[in-house]
Amino acid sequence: MANFSEMSGIKQWATVVIGGAVVTAALYFTLFKAQNDHNAAAQHALEDKIRENNELESYRPKLKQIEQQLAELKQQLEIEQRIVPDDKQVDGFITMLDAEAQKSGVELRRYMAKDTRAQQYYTEVPFDIELDGPYYSTLNFFDRVSKLERIVNISGLLVATTKNPSGAKAKHTYQYAPNESIIATFTATTYFSHDLQPSAAGAGTKPGTPAAK
């Protein structure tokens, strides 16, 4: 094969052109094509991100409305948790009743926890309670309890005079004040929410120990 310098001018130019084409093709299928594919992938990703941003942009005017709805739902949940708490806040319940008794001017003398009753979505927690006080103060107590934010149902109410406490089936008698004329016994039932399955219904606690004041 003849050296390049021995070739004619036309052949030399042809060799240069062919060599350049080969180098160009080699660069295209290695470096240039790889870079081009990379750029195409980057452009595709950019277009996807722009499209996603445009879709999200349509929600911007609704953002304040969504935030307000979330705040309202949170407030509603807090109210519902106060009405029906999600755990057995027994001490808090008794303290709440005792506070209403003091505001009303009656004496909450005795309470005893009874067996709880588990329903599908909530648990009933009843207490047997005895109180005494003036007639209108006793009425005021029950009125205040009926207006509590937390749900409290009163059942089995028995009322008698302090001179005949057996009419209310009171367990004990006390040294009543001169202005006290009424003894009342009743069951106060409060409620707690839970996640128990129906099969777990009926799992109750043992009655508590009575507490005298």
pLDDT at 34 over 70: no
Q: What is the DSSP letter of 149?
A: S
> Is 62 contained in some domain?
no
pLDDT tens across 79-134, in order?
A: 555 555 566 666 788 888 999 999 999 999 888 888 888 877 778 889 999 999 99
- The Cα–Cα gap between 130 and 104 comes to 15
At 164-209, the pLDDT tens digits run 888 888 888 888 888 898 999 999 998 887 654 444 434 444 344 4
Q: Where are the beta strands (DSSP E) in the chain?
A: 107-113, 117-118, 122-133, 152-161, 182-193, 211-212
- 161 burial (CB, 10 Å; 0-12 / 13-18 / 19+) is middle
CB of 165 within 8 A of CB of 173? yes
Q: Please indicate, yes or no, if residue 166 is contained in any of the structural domains.
A: yes
51 in the same domain as 105? no
Q: Is residue 126 part of a domain?
A: yes
Structural domain harbouring 96 = 90-212
The number of folded domains in the chain is 2
pLDDT of residue 193: 74
Residue 139 lies in a domain: yes
Regarding whether 107 and 52 lie in a shared domain, the answer is no
Q: Do residues 108 and 180 both lie within one domain? A: yes
The pLDDT tens digits of the residues spanning 37-77 come to: 777 777 888 888 878 877 777 767 776 776 676 666 666 55
